[in-house]
Amino acid sequence: MTDQTRWGIDEVMSENRAKKYENETKKKFEKWLEQSPVEYQVQLHQDEDVLVTFKIKQRRKNVPNNK
C-alpha cells in the first residue's frame, strides 16, 4: 500500500482512475460495435479519434451472437 500522506498521490490516483475508465469505455464500445447488426465503416484520425459511419439501411451478415 502506498503512503497516502505524500504530496501528489491523490492526483496520480485520480489520473489512474480516469485512464482506467477511458480504457473500459473503449472496450465496451468496441464490444458493442462488434455486435451491431448494421453495416458500418471505421475511420481512424489523429489522437485516437475514431469516426464510425453507420449504414442503417444495410444489415451485416454473420453478426456475432449477443453474449
Helix (H, G, I), strand (E, B) or coil at 64: coil
In eight-state DSSP terms, residue 42 is E
For residue 50, tell me if it sits in a domain. yes
Query: What pLDDT shows up at residue 15?
Result: 94
For residue 15, tell me if it sits in a domain. yes
For residue 3, tell me if it sits in a domain. no
For residue 46, tell me if it sits in a domain. yes
> Count of CB atoms within 10 A of residue 2's CB?
8
Q: Is the Cβ–Cβ distance between 28 and 22 less than 8 Å?
A: no
Query: What pLDDT shows up at residue 65?
Result: 62
Query: What pLDDT shows up at residue 67?
Result: 46
For residue 1, tell me if it sits in a domain. no
Query: What pLDDT shows up at residue 27?
Result: 94
- Residue numbers in the chain where pLDDT is lower than 70: 1-5, 64-67
Task: Quote the domain boundaries for residue 40.
Answer: 9-59
Looking at the 3D structure of the chain, how many domains does it have?
Answer: 1
